[in-house]
Amino acid sequence: MGSIHVHSSAASSNESNTFRFIVTNMVYHLSACAEHKSISLVMLFARAPLRIPPFCQHSSCGMLNEDFSLRFSWSAQERTAKATTNAPGFCHQKGCMMDTAQQIVTQLAHGDFAAVEQRLADLIKPLLPVEALRASWQGIEQQVGAFQELGKTSVVQTPQGLVQIVTCVFERASLDVNVTLNDAGEIVALTITPVGTVEQQANATYEPPPYAHPERFHEQEVQIGHGTWVLPGTVSIPQGNGPFSAVLLVHGSGPQDRDETIPPNKPFRDLAWGLASQGIAVLRYEKRTKVYAASMRSERDILTVKEEVIDDALEAVALLRDRPEIDAQQIFVLGHSLGGYLAPRIGAADPQIRGLIILAGFARPFEDVILDQMTYVLSLSVPDPVVRQQQLAVLKQQVKLVKDPKRLPTAAASDLPLNVPAAYWLDLNAYHPEKVAQTLKQPMLFLLGEGDYQVTREDFQIWQDALGGRSDVQFIMYPGLSHLFMPIEGGQKATPATYTVAGHVAEEVVNEIGSWIKRLSNLPLPQ
């Protein structure tokens, strides 16, 4: 059993200006994907009367259950938590979250898609009109049959936020409906998965890749920055006296954690442990939009990538430079996706950075990347071209507005891609990464997986056209690897389902990065 699961990673707040997608088995009808600010939704429901027994002890709910009990478990290693009840609901006090989750199931099962649409956060509402919700529901109805009843409920803390899970029994299968709300009680993610999938992913123990050797390094918790935006991070330090070359990992879009977790995968931990095993120190950290999503709301209308990414990356470089075990002359920045797109801007802001590593960094205008990704994902999940064009029509108008220098400054966020305010787009419109890269003196390494559908050969060609004549710039493309630089089953072009397959960053990628850093640092290469 599968589902599309493209998930706004602004899970705790729809006010974050960037979002990250997560995708599960792409079988069903609707999706909307843009890696950097992507949202998509698929419902698996069928129309049938619902039975919702009383479930909540919270006095204001009026839905009491004398037999209610709660079990809570916590995994310190994985920073995950799970709450489970013996009754088909769980009150989270603020907005009675499980009440909301069951109401959503009720509305979908009764075909009240307009009510569900009203619950959506602004950032995903333009992409999920009533017609799209209805088409998704009808497609699922054909596959799993009519809804029968609600089963158990639970709440699971994931790297993307607190997920409320309602197990639903259908005619031919039981499935989990997973709901994530922001602080305003609006839906920022609504997915359906096989029973237990979210819990399994959230509580899965990280298994190091074969090339990681934890005995060769140790880790320390650090704080990045000062004042309002202090961020927690982890530095992986090789065993020995140093000083060591070091690399900073800069996330893709969205409120990312330090491991750039996309359940069940942790590509930044793979990179950190793999490179530290080779004698290179690595710093990774929680992104500002993850740690301070709620408090950044007041700055939403003026937020740009400077506040979202660049300022904190520069603070992290400064932290590395001040550590005695780090060689201050050999600090590198590795940017993935949005981080790769912005790497030239980071390098320009700090010319002492030794070199830049761009992993799947796009070079096309951001709004074009969003539209192309959406078009591709819809081509996989919506066979009717007329329906696809209808679902893309709003986004195309929004992209057109971003490119209009006269109208953009006064445009409302609701009229722009993914409800991101004009200030963000105005800033990016003035940034041309390949042109900034041409002005830099730092060496650069560009890597791309051939199977990546989010950042494509077109992006790679833009970088090559701008920098291909330089002897200190290297380009490598890897067959059969995805946007996460993990192997794709079948070795062909990735789909959203690719990201839910457990894996690790390919060893050849880690080795290439390590060797490149060592060559520039005049360190011995592995034999």
Q: Do 432 and 450 form a contact (C-beta atoms < 8 A)?
A: no
User: Position of tokens 């220098």?
Assistant: 405
- Label residue 334 by pLDDT band (50, 70, 90): very high
pLDDT tens digits, residue range 97-117? Answer: 567 788 888 888 888 988 988
Q: Which tokens is 321 given?
A: 């430079």
pLDDT mean over 308-324: 98
User: Strand pairing partners for 477?
Assistant: 448
pLDDT of residue 139: 67
pLDDT of residue 377: 84
pLDDT of residue 42: 31
Alpha helix locations (H) across 245-353? 267-277, 288-291, 305, 311-322, 338-349
pLDDT mean over 244-259: 95
110-119, 153-162, 257-266: which range is least confident on average? 153-162
pLDDT at 378 over 50: yes
pLDDT at 82 over 80: no
279 Ramachandran zone, left/alpha/beta (phi>0; psi -120 to 50): left
- Label residue 149 by pLDDT band (50, 70, 90): confident
Helix (H) or strand (E) holding 73: strand 70-75
Q: Give the list of residues 6+ apart from residue 385 with CB closer than 8 angstroms, or none.
A: none
Q: Which tokens is 300 given?
A: 């939403």
Which of the two residues, 55 and 479, has the higher pLDDT score?
479
Angle at which helix 507-520 crosses helix 267-277, to 10 degrees, equals 50
Active site (catalytic) residues: 337, 452, 483
pLDDT of residue 190: 78
pLDDT at 346 over 70: yes
pLDDT of residue 414: 84
- Label residue 152 by pLDDT band (50, 70, 90): confident
Q: Give the list of residues 6+ apart from residue 59 with CB closer than 8 angstroms, or none.
A: none
Domains in the chain and their CATH numbers? 1-203 (3.10.450.590), 214-364+431-520 (3.40.50.1820)
pLDDT of residue 160: 66
pLDDT of residue 142: 64
Q: Of 84, 23, 12, 95, whose CA–CA distance to 58 is shortest?
A: 95
In three-state secondary structure terms, 127 is: helix
pLDDT mean over 450-455: 96
Degrees, nearest 5: CA angle 4-49-53: 95
pLDDT of residue 120: 84
Which of the two residues, 101 and 95, has the higher pLDDT score?
101
Which of the two residues, 451 and 26, has the higher pLDDT score?
451
310-314, 369-373, 475-479: which range is least confident on average? 369-373
pLDDT mean over 26-37: 30
Helix (H) or strand (E) holding 507: helix 507-520
Rounded to whole angstroms, how far apart are CA atoms 489 and 507?
16
Up-side HSE of residue 434: CA atoms within 13 Å toward CB?
15
pLDDT at 402 over 90: yes
pLDDT at 456 over 90: yes
pLDDT tens digits, residue range 182-221? Answer: 777 788 877 778 888 888 877 778 899 999 999 999 999 9
pLDDT of residue 56: 34
Which of the two residues, 73 and 427, has the higher pLDDT score?
427
Rounded to whole angstroms, how far apart are CA atoms 201 and 263?
6
Rounded to whole angstroms, how far apart are CA atoms 356 and 283?
15
pLDDT mean over 388-398: 87
State residue 58 phi and psi, 5-degree precision.
-65, 125
pLDDT mean over 336-356: 98
154-163, 232-241, 341-350, 417-426: which range is least confident on average? 154-163
Q: Which tokens is 417 given?
A: 């891609």
pLDDT at 519 over 90: yes
27-31, 144-148, 463-467: which range is least confident on average? 27-31
pLDDT at 293 over 90: no
- Label residue 44 by pLDDT band (50, 70, 90): very low
Rounded to whole angstroms, how far apart are CA atoms 421 and 51?
42
Mean pLDDT over the full length of the chain:
80
pLDDT mean over 252-277: 94
pLDDT of residue 145: 85
- Label residue 425 by pLDDT band (50, 70, 90): very high
Q: How far apart are the first and last CA of the chain?
A: 46
